[in-house]
Amino acid sequence: MSTETLEGAGLLVSRRPLMQRLWRGGLQGSEFTWAVAFTVPYIALFLAFVAYPVAFGAWLGREPSLYLELAEDPIFQRTVVNTILYVGIAVNLKMFGALLLSGFFMRRGWWVKGLLLVYVLPWALPALPAFISIHWMLNGEWGLLNNFLFNVFGMEGPGWLDTSRWLSLGAVITSHIWKWMPFWTVILLAGRMAIPQELYEAAEVDGATGLTRFTHVTFPLLANLYLVCTLLSTIFTLGDFNSVYFVSGGGPALSTHVLATLGIRNAFEVARPELGVAAVLTALPLMIPLVLILMRKLRTTEVTL
Amino acid sequence: MTVAVDDVGPAVAVTAVPASVARGRRARRLRWWKEAGALGVAVLVLIWTLVPVYNIFMVSLESKGDVFTETIWPARPSVESFWIVITQGYWYLEHFWHQFANSFYIGVGTVFFTLVIGSLASFAIGRMRVRYGWLLSNAALLTYVIPASFLAIPFYRIMQIYGLTNNLWSVIAAEVTFATPYAIFIFQQYGTSIPIELDEAARIDGASPFQVYWKIYLPLMAPALVAVGTYALLLAWNEYLYQFLLLSSKQSMSVPVALAQFLNSDEAPWNYMMATAIIYAIPPVAIYYVFRRRMSAGLTMGGVKG
């Protein structure tokens, strides 16, 4: 047995240099041409549609005076607070809910599987139809929610989206969670399924049940995945345009904008692209550390999303 | 496993009966509570998920007058709104099928170019092992973590410079840009499960790199191709911002852009909007449920490694 593997290894060792010469070192002539041909489409795509816009954006937002102007703008100040609240609350509630629900969907039974099929519907549904439905549903006068409150409890519901900043922001956060929690639940569910059953059996022998099972077996194994998912979700939520734009539209009175929507508003409604870019660029102090950590994590842990 | 305990012997069994019966009853009661709790969670999840969906259907089935009433179900349900949308019988919907075709072209174009560019690049990085492959993977990773909406303003200006505004290609370019990094990511991971020896054998037999790519790599990558293709389609179908910025003419407009125009008009006909929304949502939902297994397999390849 051992000699066999040794011989196999020897064979591999003797074969490697040849293959490496063929593939890597020997990327000459037609090999090299092929490699270039294979990578050129992506390189071109990256240069034309990522590198160039990024550089152009940095150039647009180069004036320090833009940032002074933003800092004095009360709408921008509110936007920063909104962004922090939105990202902080939405991401954590969503991920924690996804963690709990992924445990729920580990249960056996046909109805749990059926429920999962229904539960992922918001994710499969395109964003726009979903969010305009929520927008109309929360209409103060004719929306489903207030009609329900009136018909069943005989009470007049508030105008969810056009009276108060906090109600409106809450509606946006809830809508975002509604749309994206299923996605992360599926990811964490797959993470849970990848935990070998023997570990649970071993833990059971050692007397771990219920909560201790979770804190001592499930969570330590899921922690890395959970962290990466949370970081990724932070970036995606930071860039989430649709939930805010279609549910609250930044209203009432521009009080629920986030950086992503305010940037677009500055650039296209106020017609000052450089101010829009500057608004977006103020997220960089948060973005850069996140991106650095994520790029390390994603490269080393092979978590795929 | 517990059956073995009963084989201990008659003497032990007699004394053990009352205790085990009590334990069994308690366990059964606990199981009952757990089951009831699970059902409660299930009902909450169902309501939470379905209320906005119910709202779309309810409004789309109402007539124009009934939309502005305080009912929580359609008083006189009719499919009139759907008929209006399908026959383009309202001035906002004049070009509905043209817009739908535009959305369709964008979706198909995005899927096609994402798969081609992504698979070629990941073949070069993962299989041919080109020298600066790591640079490419890092570029892809970086693009993956840049929010698309943050790049929209310069992107729009650049499309103006390229002269591509009001052209479907500009949107396809944008969607492909943001879908390809994910494609490269998934393809590279999936590719590690295909033995490199296959490529080597083919190379020794004289196959060119393109033949290896076409005859070995692509067929074996089929599951990942399906997963990424579905992802790219959903991405293109979900996306609004770039389509809104880049497509404003009647000829080039896609369904989401037209729908949002409805929203901004003074007399928004909500029943027609919801019917439009449902028709627009059918293709991605159908495709998602058909390829669901493939997709979640692709989405979570690697899972919790390390």
**Quick one: which H or E segment has residue B152?**
helix B152-162
**What's the confidence (pLDDT) of residue A300?**
61
**What's the confidence (pLDDT) of residue B47?**
94
Residue A51 lies in a domain: yes
**What's the confidence (pLDDT) of residue A5?**
38
Residue of A54, A53, A65 whose CA lies nearest to A275: A65
Q: Report pTM.
A: 0.86
Tokens 């949107």 label which residue?
B171
Chain B hits for A50, Cβ within 8 Å: 139, 142-143, 146, 151, 177
pLDDT at B303 over 50: no
For residue B197, the tally of other CB atoms under 10 A from its CB is: 11
pLDDT at B251 over 50: yes
CATH number of A255's domain: 1.10.3720.10
Of B117, B153, B189, the CB nearest to A42: B117
Residue A4 lies in a domain: no
Q: Are residues A43 and A80 in the same domain?
A: no
Q: Are residues A41 and A88 in the same domain?
A: no
Task: Give A164 or A208, the one with higher predicted confidence.
Answer: A164
Q: Are residues A283 and A178 in the same domain?
A: yes
CB contact under 8 A, A128 and B240: yes
pLDDT at A79 over 80: yes
Q: Span B236-257, mean pLDDT?
A: 91
**What's the confidence (pLDDT) of residue A157?**
82
Q: Span B74-93, mean pLDDT?
A: 83
Q: Are residues A94 and A148 in the same domain?
A: yes
**What's the confidence (pLDDT) of residue B302?**
38
Residue B260 burial (10 A CB sphere; 0-12, 13-18, 19+):
middle
Q: Are residues A172 and A25 in the same domain?
A: no
Q: Which range, of A5-14, B17-26, B197-206, B279-288, averages the lowest pLDDT? A: A5-14
Residue A115 lies in a domain: yes
Q: Is A303 on the interface with B (CB under 8 A)?
A: yes
Q: Is B236 on the interface with A (CB under 8 A)?
A: no
CB contact under 8 A, B120 and A133: no
Structural domain boundaries enclosing A31: 17-60
pLDDT at A168 over 70: yes
Chain B hits for A221, Cβ within 8 Å: 304
Sign of CA dihedral A162, A279, B136, A232: negative
Q: Is A271 on the interface with B (CB under 8 A)?
A: no
d(Cα B244, Cα B258) in Å, to the nearest integer? 9
**What's the confidence (pLDDT) of residue A1?**
35
**What's the confidence (pLDDT) of residue A305?**
45
CATH architecture of B83-299: Orthogonal Bundle (1.10)
All structural domains of chain B with their residue ranges: 2-61, 83-299
Q: Is B296 on the interface with A (CB under 8 A)?
A: yes
Q: Are residues A194 and A265 in the same domain?
A: yes
**What's the confidence (pLDDT) of residue A296?**
82
pLDDT category of residue B261 using cuts at 50, 70 and 90? confident
Q: Which range, of A57-71, A126-140, B255-269, averages the lowest pLDDT? A: B255-269
Q: Are residues A82 and A28 in the same domain?
A: no
Chain A hits for B110, Cβ within 8 Å: none
pLDDT digits (tens, 9 = 90+) for B125-153: 888 888 888 888 888 888 888 889 999 99
pLDDT at B158 over 60: yes
- Say yes or no: ipTM exceeds 0.90: no
Q: Are residues A34 and A147 in the same domain?
A: no
**What's the confidence (pLDDT) of residue A52?**
94
Q: Report the chain A residue with the minimal C-alpha distance to residue B262.
A: A132
Q: Which range, of A11-15, A260-264, B131-135, averages the lowest pLDDT? A: A11-15
Q: What percent of chain A has pLDDT over 70?
A: 88
Q: Are residues A128 and A256 in the same domain?
A: yes
**What's the confidence (pLDDT) of residue B69?**
74
pLDDT category of residue A12 using cuts at 50, 70 and 90? very low
Q: Are residues A199 and A257 in the same domain?
A: yes
Task: Give the side-chain half-sphere CA count within 13 A for B304.
Answer: 21
| A285 preceded by a cis bond (ω within 30 of 0) | no
Counting DSSP H helices and E strands in chain A, the numbers are 17, 0
Residue of A247, A67, A11, A192 whose CA lies nearest to B303: A192
Q: What distance in Å separates residue B18's CA from the closest CA in chain A?
A: 24
Name the amino acid, one letter, at B289. Y
Residue A2 lies in a domain: no
- Show the tokens assigned to A202: 């071993």
pLDDT at A80 over 80: yes
pLDDT category of residue A4 using cuts at 50, 70 and 90? very low
d(Cα B141, Cα B81) in Å, to the nearest integer? 44
d(Cα A103, Cα A96) in Å, to the nearest integer? 11
Q: Which range, of A92-101, A216-225, B170-179, averages the lowest pLDDT? A: A216-225
Q: Are residues A49 and A85 in the same domain?
A: no
Chain A hits for B41, Cβ within 8 Å: 104
pLDDT at A115 over 90: yes
Contact call for residues A103 and A183 (beta carbons, < 8 A): no
Most B CBs within 10 Å, among A30, A91, A125, to test the B interface: A125
CB contact under 8 A, B68 and A142: yes
Q: Span A91-113, mean pLDDT?
A: 92
d(Cα A229, Cα A231) in Å, to the nearest integer? 5
d(Cα B197, Cα A16) in Å, to the nearest integer? 11
pLDDT category of residue A160 using cuts at 50, 70 and 90? confident
* B residues 248-277 closer than 8 Å to A (CB): 256, 259-260, 263, 270, 273-274, 277
pLDDT digits (tens, 9 = 90+) for A289-304: 988 888 888 776 554 4
Q: Is A45 on the interface with B (CB under 8 A)?
A: yes
- With b for 16 or more beta-carbon neighbours within 10 A and e for fewer, the B62-84 pattern comes to beeebbeeeebebeeeeebbbeb
Chain A hits for B273, Cβ within 8 Å: 132
The structural domain count of chain A equals 2
**What's the confidence (pLDDT) of residue A250?**
85
CB contact under 8 A, A53 and B151: yes
Of B125, B174, B304, the CB nearest to A222: B304
CB contact under 8 A, A39 and B120: yes
Q: What distance in Å separates residue B13's CA from the closest CA in chain A?
A: 24
Tell me the C-alpha to C-alpha distance, in Å, between residue A77 and each of A4, A234, A285, B151, B248.
70, 20, 16, 22, 32
Q: Is B189 on the interface with A (CB under 8 A)?
A: yes
Q: Report the chain A residue with the minimal C-alpha distance to residue B236.
A: A126
d(Cα B298, Cα B225) in Å, to the nearest integer? 9
Q: Span A44-49, mean pLDDT?
A: 93
**What's the confidence (pLDDT) of residue B288?**
87
Q: What distance in Å separates residue B53's CA from the closest CA in chain A?
A: 7
Which of A60, A94, A111 terminates a domain? The answer is A60
Q: Are residues A188 and A231 in the same domain?
A: yes
Q: Is B291 on the interface with A (CB under 8 A)?
A: no
Q: Span A279-290, mean pLDDT?
A: 90
pLDDT digits (tens, 9 = 90+) for B42-63: 999 999 999 999 999 988 888 8
